[in-house]
Every structure is written in structure tokens, then in C-alpha cells.
Amino acid sequence: MPATIHMAVVRCVFLCVATAGLICGCKEEDKPSAIEGRVSVTNGSAAGVKVELYNAPAYENTTAWSTTAAHPMVGFPYSLQAVFDWRTATAVDSLTISGDGAFSFPDVADGSYVVVARKPHYGWSVPVLVESRGQSVQTGTLALFPEDSIPNPTYMAQDTRWTSGRHYVVDQLLVIEPGVTLTIEPGAVVRFENLGYMIVSGGLIAEGTPSAHIHFTSNAAVNPQAFDWGYVTVSEGAEPPVIRYCTFTYCEVGVHSIGGGGMVENSYFARIGSQAVNMSGVGAGVGDSVIVRRNVIDHIPVGVHIGQIHGTGMAIEHNAIVNCSSYGVEVDSVNGGQIYCNWFFNCGRSDTLPGPATGVTSLSFMWNVDIHRNHFQSSWYALSLGSRVDSSVHIYGNYFYLVNRVMNVGVTPDRSGVSHPRFYGNTIERCVGYNIFMHSCTVNYLSINAPENYWGSDSESFIISRFNDCNRDRTCPCIWYLPFLTSPSTNNVGICEG
């Protein structure tokens, strides 16, 4: 065989077809694809850097906060950098590179992959999403920087900026003194040692971007867990915190503020032991407002707790709050604000299990609040009312689907008072228990005004059967449900984009 043909066989296979004679041809095989790139190490060598290849999770580069694969997706896209953690994933390939920083994964099957570089005392690089589709693909440069160690205790006495791409390791306690501001740039990673925490007595500005979240996470190198570290807490008298495009994981509480007001937006909270956001407002003045907006909160006992907010009040809006074992939202002692266009899924626990039944929202001592255009799905109680949720609270334009009980009207232990919010213009479908259940009727003696709702049927007898009110228990007040809707509303609810 001629040498030129022999060399070509490396990249082709022969095809022989029996016709009038023997005709042989050559078809090029699919070229093996490689994932290639380079690692840069500031103030150090790339020798010994480990580069790892992971299968990309299915939710990357898409909007995937949904109930099932068949359900229309709700929520909003989150970048891979915001949610991917190599410590909880299994690498499909890894290599240790030499000092020139170049790396190559040869013969990679088609698919979506994540590439991460890491080195002791340098943290890890920003994860890069690559698509292998039959040809070599470049990751670009994966950058590593020396870790900055924050010793225990550290009292930050002058304005400080933590820079993009760097890792800051907090050993136990970091205090930002009054009058001092810590600014954290997009892409920075803050890692806390066991039970470490940050106390903000001055100011905290943590503003990432959609493609470069700021991470607050555990310093555990393997198998990080909830409660690994404590919290970021904002003290009374501190500047209201600004938290945007941040990711909080493996702590007890993500953001805990007892100061006046604050803003948590476009952030991701997961694998947290107690609460994602707690803004209890003991230091709040009239006019201070709390905004919790466009966040994803997943697999946390309590999503958002808001308390003691007065004046301009609160805005809990456009969030996806899912898989909360206790409550998605707790509100206690709030005057003014709204809970608007949120999507709640799989929150609460059954009353057949040990402990109290819980649900999506726990509401008590609340005035002048609108709860509207929210989507409540596959949860135990949608609205669990304690004491003094009065008629200045309007619940309207919401969609309740596959919840056990839409509204449970009770009392707050040791703080009794009548609750009778207005409930109108809502749609209820396929709810398996009571739509409204009146408890403690010697305290909750006022009727509830609930017209213009679709109760899951156009049958009046069916509607009445789903109330625990004066028709079932003469000691209880009545629910005024007339007139009622005979078909579901088509209102846009839950996230409310478009």
C-alpha cells in the first residue's frame, strides 16, 4: 500500500462496494474531541494544580425551577457560577498539570461539562461550562489567586475592598466596625471556618453580577454540610445591607439583620440549616423598608422571616421558594408592604407527622399588607394565620393548586387576637382538604369577607363543604363567599414576568 494512503488510514475507514468491479473508498471517522485550556496562578506556579472535569447539571444555562419536567418552567435563569459546587459533585476525569499551566482532556464524549481548577491555599477557579460536540473546545484561562486568611478575631477598622476571583477564609469571627464599609466585588468567594461568622456594625456592600456571583460558603474541602458556619449578621445601628447576586450555602442562617431595612436581591440560598433570610428589624425606624426580591431559596427549613417592620414596610416579591420543611415565609409584627408574585412549591409538613403542621406562610400581627398574584403549589397549609391579621390585609389574585388547606385561621400562643383578612379574586384547584378552616372561634369571632373566588367547583354545596365555619360549627363566624366564580381565573401569577 502506498505510504500516502497508509497514513490516511489513521483517520479513515475503507468502504468496499461490490458492483461490476471492486470499488473501494475512504470515509473520514469522527475526530475525537478534546477539552483544552490553561491555568494561571498569581504569585505561584501552576505545577501541581488539579484540573477536574464534571458532567454539567441539567439545570445549567436554563430556567429550570419547575414542579416537574412536564410543567411550564417558572422562575428565572441562574448561571453555572452561581449554583455549581465541585465539592458535592463527582469528577468524570481529572489531571494534575505541570508548570506551564496547559491542560487537555482528550477523547471527550459529546455532552455538557464543567471544568474547575484548584490548588491548596489558592482556592478554586470560577467553574467554566463547555459543550463538547465532536471537535476540540477551549475553556480559556482558569485563574487562581492566593487565599487571604482573616484571623480570629478580626476587627475591620478601615474601609476595605475584597477583589474579584479571590478567596477570603474567615477563621471564626470577623467584625466590621461602626463607620467602616466592606465592599465585596463580583466573583469573590468568602469561606468560613467551622462556626465562623461575620458581624456587620458598619456597612456591607456585596453586589455580584448575573455571571459572577459572590459566594458565602463553608471552608470544608470535602462534604460541606448545613451548619458548617454561622451567618452574616447586621447589627442594630448598622447601615442597611445591600446583597445582590450572591450565593449562600452550608450556614445556619444566610443573611440575619436586626438593623433598619435592607435589600436581598437576585441571590441563591441552598443547603442552609435554619433560615435563608431573617430581617427582624428591632433597630428599624418608621420608613425603613425590607426588600427580598428575585431570589431562589431551596431546601431550607424557613425561607424568609420578616418581623417588626413598620412604615414603608416590606416587599417579598418574585422569589422562587421551594422545599421548605417549616415555612416558606414567616411574617410577625409588620405594618405595610406586600407579598407579591412569588412561586411556592412543596413547603410545610403534614399534621399526621410528629410536631406541628406547617406550610407556605405563617402570618401574625400584620396590618396593611397585600398578598397577591402568588402561586402556591403542593404544600400543606398555604396561609397559616396566627393572631391579629385584620381586614387591612388583602389576599387576592393568588393561585392555589394541590394544597391540603388554603387558609388556616388560628391564634398565636400567648398573644391572642382576632384575625379576619379580606380574601377575594383567588383561584383554588384540586385542594384536598378545607379551603378555609376557622380555629379558636371564641377569639376569631369576626366573619371573613371572601367574595369572587373560584373554590374548585361551581357547586355551592361543594363550596360550603370545604369551610369549617358557622355552617359546621355554630360557635364559629361565617365565611361570606357570595358571589363566587364558576371558572378559574386566568391571571398571571408566580414570578409574574411578561
Q: In this predicted model, what pLDDT tens digit does every residue of 153-180 receive, in sequence order? A: 999 999 999 999 999 999 999 999 999 9
Q: Is residue 197 part of a domain?
A: yes
- pLDDT, tens digit (0-9, with 9 covering 90-100), for 197-234: 999 999 999 999 988 999 999 999 999 999 999 999 99
pLDDT band (50, 70, 90) for residue 63: very low
Tell me, what's the pLDDT at 64? Answer: 38
Beta bridge pairs of residue 150: 170
The strand order across the sheet containing 148-150 reads 148-150, 167-170, 189-192, 214-218, 246-249, 268-270, 296-298, 320-322, 343-345, 375-377, 399-401, 427-429
Q: Which of 116, 144, 172 is the last residue of a domain?
A: 144
Tell me, what's the pLDDT at 490? Answer: 76
Q: How much is the average pLDDT of 91-109?
A: 96
Tell me, what's the pLDDT at 229? Answer: 98
Q: Which of 144, 170, 189 is the last residue of a domain?
A: 144
Q: How much is the average pLDDT of 51-58?
A: 91
Q: Mean pLDDT, the chain, as a whole number?
A: 87
Q: 278, 267, 408: which is closest to 348 by C-alpha?
A: 408
CB atoms within 10 A of CB 482: 9
pLDDT band (50, 70, 90) for residue 352: low
Tell me, what's the pLDDT at 312? Answer: 59
Tell me, what's the pLDDT at 413? Answer: 82
CA distance linking residue 276 with residue 454, whole number of Å: 33
Omega cis (within 30) before 151: no
- pLDDT, tens digit (0-9, with 9 covering 90-100), for 179-191: 999 999 999 999 9
Tell me, what's the pLDDT at 324? Answer: 92
Q: Is residue 229 part of a domain?
A: yes
Residue 217 CB burial class (10 angstroms; 0-12, 13-18, ≥19): buried
pLDDT at 327 over 90: yes
Tell me, what's the pLDDT at 210? Answer: 87
- 127 and 202 share a domain? no
CA distance linking residue 342 with residue 122, whole number of Å: 39
- 284 and 351 share a domain? yes
pLDDT band (50, 70, 90) for residue 342: very high
Higher-scoring residue by pLDDT: 458, 72:
458
Tell me, what's the pLDDT at 463? Answer: 98
CA distance linking residue 314 with residue 289, whole number of Å: 5
- 202 and 346 share a domain? yes
Q: Is residue 494 part of a domain?
A: no
- 55 and 160 share a domain? no
Least confident range of 82-86, 121-125, 141-145: 82-86
CA distance linking residue 301 with residue 254, whole number of Å: 12
pLDDT at 235 over 70: yes
- 423 and 299 share a domain? yes
- 188 and 131 share a domain? no
Tell me, what's the pLDDT at 22? Answer: 38
Which residue's C-alpha cell is 384575625?
A: 419
- 17 and 78 share a domain? no
- 134 and 159 share a domain? no
* Total count of domains within the chain: 3
- 295 and 405 share a domain? yes
Q: Is residue 497 part of a domain?
A: no
Tell me, what's the pLDDT at 186? Answer: 96
Q: Is residue 299 part of a domain?
A: yes
User: Please, which contacts does 25-30 make with residues 24 or more away whose CB atoms are closer than 8 Å?
Assistant: 30/134
Q: Is residue 191 part of a domain?
A: yes
pLDDT band (50, 70, 90) for residue 34: very high
Range of the domain at 10: 1-30
Q: What percent of the chain has pLDDT over 90?
A: 73
- 269 and 136 share a domain? no
Tell me, what's the pLDDT at 211? Answer: 87
Tell me, what's the pLDDT at 495? Answer: 82
- pLDDT, tens digit (0-9, with 9 covering 90-100), for 1-31: 333 323 333 333 333 443 344 344 444 444 5
Q: Which of 90, 111, 144 is the last residue of a domain?
A: 144
pLDDT band (50, 70, 90) for residue 280: confident
Q: Is residue 66 part of a domain?
A: yes
- 17 and 82 share a domain? no
Domain at 57, CATH number: 2.60.40.10
Q: Is residue 495 part of a domain?
A: no
Q: How much is the average pLDDT of 431-447?
A: 95
Q: 98, 111, 114, 110: which is closest to 52 by C-alpha?
A: 114
- pLDDT, tens digit (0-9, with 9 covering 90-100), for 402-412: 999 999 999 98
- 54 and 17 share a domain? no
